[in-house]
Chains A and B, each alone.
Chain A
């Protein structure tokens, strides 16, 4: 027994000595540099608020997990700066692999042949028909939308309640409430220098076109110069002008109010009953002041109802000249997967451009959801219109806020239409 125990003990000691490597002291070990990424890609976008980029961050991270050979870095610039930088980069041949575009840049870049055709992406078929109608251009697709943004009228429920006012359902009611607050010495509407006025003008101007289904026809006429754009936008800008003149909008202030940033800060002060801006900012507004009660409704610009202005938004394109075009396409495809889109659209308080996409879970924009599903929808920057309408109306807004007359602005617009031609 003892002998057995002793022999077992020595066996164990011997094994331990072998395992701990009592033999040699000199070792050479070569490590494979496995983690070296083969592809370094950049993604340039205009989403840069921390709240807005978290989902982009997630998507990029997940994509990189799925594609360990790829490293993708995201760079963002805010607002107009972005498009300037984008243009310069693209012009300088230093364009990023994946970029965010809008109607106008896409139009410009695609015309220069700088955008890759995305029609072969697997995710293309998932888009709704209305989106596809926007995306397709001569059988090619240069951009894909990741959200459908809606523009809405933010209503300060507490304030309205306090003053015994209610959320307006048509233009008359809206003007009446505005007048009420104007009389109380409160500027009723917070507006920014970009989307507030132009979406209001577009919504009012194109509302009946879309409602009647004449937009393709009319836009074709505008495109070939048969009809002037002013014919359709005059009423919208006139409405804006009236609001400014009535003192419902402080034009001076709006001129320096950056969209979905300064305007939000103003609105959450609770001093204003209304704000005109993107519905996607609802989440941000809520995050800024969780106790602030508000609701976002479609624009009550018709005498008998409202108009919802939407846009195929956060459009992604791939740089045709990208050395990593395949990976870039892969990323866009990844981004436009149903899960990613849903996550992103929800985060943006927007709607999914995909078929069967669930509406945003943000409670405050539920009226927009209802309107989107059933009402008068106007596409803010319809790609059928071969005009940089988004940019033109922005400039027109600036002019309006600067005090130019509607006639002058209309003339300028028609000139711009002509010059584009």
Chain B
């Protein structure tokens, strides 16, 4: 409800209340006035009656005085005795007769006041004002009556009243003694006062009772005047501090007295006030009641309104918020929309802010799809006819022209005005519809897909109702080459197959597929019955076919349902056969592998035993010939060989194991690749030489010789390949090793190509396949003589793979092999070795019959800034040198190959020396070990040696060496005495190893102290003074405390020992792998030497840490 209406209602309520108040006030005033008047009237009445009573009393006494007077009148005035007698007999007490002579009868009653008054009396009768009797001293009033005697004289009969007695009799009281009365004269003198408790008992004059300062003098004067004029009435004055009513009534003709009633106004008003108060209370109660009723009504109305409003809101909210469209439609055709709720509007694509009336007046036919219109109108018609709720489903036109599927209910009902309307609730079922269609499509598709899927495998698919012996051919393709005919029942179908099944299988067919059998088994004992058998098909040949009947759950009836599938299985049968064969071969392979492993173990046993046998045997021989030095030396050499072989064998096995377990870790260290190749070739060279093999190493000048990689592993790869080549090439064979750098696409990397070709026994194609698998070795008479672990190539292949490289082999049995290794290696950023300045521009001659080698050397030297020339024989060389010697630019360096036809290197050198004098260095080039000829050629003028092939590094090295030599420095010389005085703590638990180490180190001239385990080492170190030990050689695997732990302990002795951090600790251990070395560094050691100890490595290491 609007606030204005409330305001109006409230105003109306206030107005009514105000009006009521006004009416009440008027009423109260009126009633008060009336009550007041009534009270005054009552008081006046009472006063009047009081006055009447007194008057009545006086009149009676007057009458009696009259009677007495009449007796007296018959007597003469001077007959005192007679008068006295009459008086005493006729008149009562207190009646006296006053004679004109001043005599009073009886004499003793003579009141001087009366005597005086009588003299002046005019009227015949009257009342004398109260006065003090001169006889009794009492306040009296007198009534007198003139008496005329027989002698014509007159006297007065006087009756005396004691005022007190009259006062007692005329004491008027009003309002429960609150009011009282006086008799006063015209001047207000109080004549008679009642002994009333509330009356004023002391004041003499009425007007003395009215305080001058509290009352208006005019009013008082008016009151006085009123009394003077014998009026009657009432007056209101302040008396005793309260308004008081004075009601005055004159007493009558005999006196000028007044009877005055005095009553406090409050007392008079009290009654009327009480009545009014009760009336007011009643009125107030009525008004309050009305207000309460009104408020209650308003509150109730408001509450009801609020309730209705919230109900309306609630319903409206519901109406608009339920996710159902609600349309109110006219009952009469054509049906029109009256209202649509928000959801309905939304569904019809009305704008979001459209009101419910937006669709009003729109025809139903406008929005219903034409195809659904007829049906919809029929439904609405039925609904309009009051036929309960009708459901509908139709397409409805949206505002944008599209349709949606709606589904809903329509029913006939009343609107808020009681008019019949149709209410249709509907919702969008487009999604469901689409989903339904989609589902149907999917089902169809699924069925088809399934069918075609099954059909692709099974050309015959038949649904069988076993219980009813019915079939339904779902799919049939002639590919099966079976003439089914037109079987009506399963039994027919069964019969069709029976004759074509090969006779051996018929029994089984019957047993499994007869209708009876199916009924008994299918879905009970088994879910599937299957048979594979050969059958005579239409092509007249026997084919493998499979027939299977699968039980199908039938949720709809008790019928036993199944699906029959059948197909030819010739191919599968074949594949089965094949796979069986494969399995068999795999089994055989496994067996072979097992055998290979056994063979390997056997080989290993053999391979290990062989060098062991050599070691043991040779040791025995050496023992037997202790005196024969040459024999012992031979023995030791062979022992050395065998142990080296054994070591290699063990290394290989361990490497392989590591590779296989994926634990191989590659190190990254800078090294010179060319140098590595030459070094590695050097390793196999002795063997090649001993086998009478020719090894050619061709190093195509490389842009980057220095690379970063795992030197050890790359060397291992090379060594494996080279040693294989040496191993498998018969005497007189040739091995060519080539190395070149090819361009690499990866920045910072170089790609290096290593080729190793031999003229050895080669490999069969079959073996090539297995070449890189472990434990394989070329079988054959030749090979079995050659020792090897059979792991080499496998390791090689794995390492190369690990380095992202590639290894390839080309070989032909009996014709040699070619191994090609491609390795991508990181280039070292360090600069190339520098050529000593002195050699820059130096004229150099190379003398070698190998033209290719010469060209390479020239190329490298030129690149290094050296002027290089070559000749291919000694004779030309001598000529050239001689010529140059004469020129301004003689040769400053001559490189001479050892082995040349015609004139060999030694001879050439000798002759050159003769030409050039002692200064010019003559370097002897050789691919062989020059130790045997060293003395000889040096004597013939050779300055130094340079191993072939050339590469930049070794050339640089050579030049540097020559330079230094010229400087007179000899840093090459290894001076053991430099170690003298140094102290080494050797930590080793194994006494044998301890001995070996001790001996080896002793050679270097070091002082040795020993510790048997880590703990002892720590204790010894701790006990020693600072700087006592110069080096600690630490075994790793030891009892009590291992080397790592001991190192950590030593390193942690920090406070008192500043050297504890610095003292070099070198691992000397059989834990020989790269990761072992790293572990050693991690634990705080400085270096790592693996066992068996290579004396050279040991020496290098000592030199490194002690000098």
Contacts and interface: CB of A to CB of B under 8 A. Distances in A.
A85 B203 contact: no
B196 interface: yes
B179 to A, nearest CB: 13
B197 interface: yes
Nearest to A83: B137
Nearest to A91: B137
A329 interface: no
Interface string A367-402: 000000000000000000000000000000000000
A71 B197 contact: yes
A90 B132 CA distance: 13
A98 to B, nearest CB: 12
A84 B195 CA distance: 24
Contact of B137 (A57, A65, A87): A87
B108 to A, nearest CB: 11
Interface string A70-98: 01111111000100111111111010000
Contact of B197 (A54, A61, A85): A61
B497 to A, nearest CB: 89
Contact of A74 (B137, B162, B202): B202
A40 to B, nearest CB: 6
A131 interface: no
B134 interface: yes
A71 B137 contact: no
A92 B138 contact: yes
B137 A48 contact: no
Contact of A73 (B136, B193, B198): B193
Interface residues of A, number: 35
Contact of A88 (B135, B195, B202): B135
A288 interface: no
Q: Which of B133, B201, B203 has the most CB of A within 10 A?
A: B201
Contacts of B196: 71
B176 interface: yes
Contacts of B432: none
Q: Which of B132, B133, B176, B196 has the most CB of A within 10 A?
A: B132
Nearest to A56: B202
A212 interface: no
Interface string B181-214: 0000000000001111110111111001000000
A37 B201 CA distance: 16
A87 B136 CA distance: 9
B195 A76 contact: no
Interface residues on B, range: 20 to 34
B203 A57 contact: yes
B666 interface: no
Say what secondary structure dominates the interface of chain A: helix
Contacts of B136: 88-89, 92, 94
Given A40-B168, A54-B202, A81-B132, A72 B195 contact: yes
A54 B201 CA distance: 9
A88 B201 contact: no
A84 B176 contact: no
Nearest to A75: B139
Contacts of A89: 136-138
Contacts of A68: 197
A53 interface: yes
Contacts of B204: 48, 50, 76
B203 A64 contact: no
B137 A85 contact: yes
B602 interface: no
B203 A50 contact: yes
Contacts of B70: none
A160 B200 CA distance: 42
A73 B167 contact: yes
Nearest to B202: A53
Contacts of B200: 57
A87 B137 CA distance: 7
Given A73-B167, A81-B132, A85-B132, A94 B201 contact: no
Contacts of B198: 61
A226 interface: no
B34 interface: no
Nearest to B167: A73
Contacts of A75: 139
A105 interface: no
B177 interface: yes
B137 A92 contact: yes
Contacts of B201: 43, 56-57, 60-61, 72-74
Nearest to A89: B137
Given A71-B197, A92-B138, A77 B202 contact: no
Contacts of A77: 132
A72 B194 CA distance: 10
A57 B176 contact: no
A88 B133 contact: yes
Nearest to B203: A50
Given A57-B203, A64-B197, A35 B176 contact: yes
Contact of A92 (B135, B168, B194): B135
Given A50-B208, A64-B197, A73-B167, A86 B137 contact: yes
A94 B177 contact: no
A35 B180 CA distance: 14
A165 to B, nearest CB: 35
Interface in B158-175: 162, 164, 167-168
16 contacts: A35-B176, A35-B177, A43-B201, A57-B203, A61-B197, A73-B164, A73-B201, A76-B202, A76-B204, A84-B132, A88-B132, A88-B136, A90-B137, A92-B136, A94-B138, A94-B162
Given A48-B204, A64-B197, A74-B201, 8 more contacts: A50-B204, A57-B202, A73-B193, A84-B137, A88-B138, A89-B136, A89-B138, A91-B137
Interface of B: 132-139, 162, 164, 167-168, 176-177, 193-198, 200-205, 208
The 4 nearest A-B residue pairs measured at CB? A88-B137, A53-B202, A85-B137, A89-B137
